[in-house]
Amino acid sequence: GQQLNQSPQSMFIQEGEDVSMNCTSSSIFNTWLWYKQDPGEGPVLLIALYKAGELTSNGRLTAQFGITRKDSFLNISASIPSDVGIYFCAGQLRTSYDKVIFGPGTSLSVIP
């Protein structure tokens, strides 16, 4: 079945540093999504991307929909302690009514 690969698997960074993580797939996706999960809670949508090449920002977060439609990346600038959590990429293959498939996640730790 369709599978998403995320890298890195985990990151330990100093507060104030920028962070970059990415997501790849062997399949073409029509929608790319980035979610964040805080400990003990369900994931929350951060950014949604719908067009190849699209670059979208949400505060200190920036994400891009890859030109090949098989990848996406997420950047976090000037990290802060509350950025700690697991970041998941996700996608929908065709329509907006397709199942949302999630990657394995990138665990982010921020050292104050």
Partner 1 sequence: KAGVTQTPRYLIKTRGQQVTLSCSPISGHRSVSWYQQTPGQGLQFLFEYFSETQRNKGNFPGRFSGRQFSNSRSEMNVSTLELGDSALYLCASAYSGTGMIAGELFFGEGSRLTVL
Taking each continuous run of H as one helix and of E as one strand, the counts in the chain are: 0, 11
Cis upstream peptide for 8 (omega within 30°): yes
At residue 59's C-alpha, the angle toward residues 21 and 97, to 5°, is 70
Residue 32 CB, nearest approach to partner 1 (Å): 8
Residue of 21, 101, 108, 110 that binds partner 1 (CB under 8 A): 101
Contact 90, 98 (CB under 8 A): no
CB of 78 to partner 1, least distance (A): 26
Any contact of residue 94 with partner 1 (CB under 8 A)?
Answer: no
End-to-end CA distance of the chain: 40
Give the shortest CB-2-to-partner 1 separation in angstroms.
10
The span of 12-20, 56-64, 72-80, 102-110 binding partner 1 (CB under 8 A) equals: 102-110
Judged by the rule CB under 8 A, the positions of this chain that interact with partner 1 are 1, 4, 6, 31, 33, 35, 40-45, 48, 50, 88, 90-92, 96-105
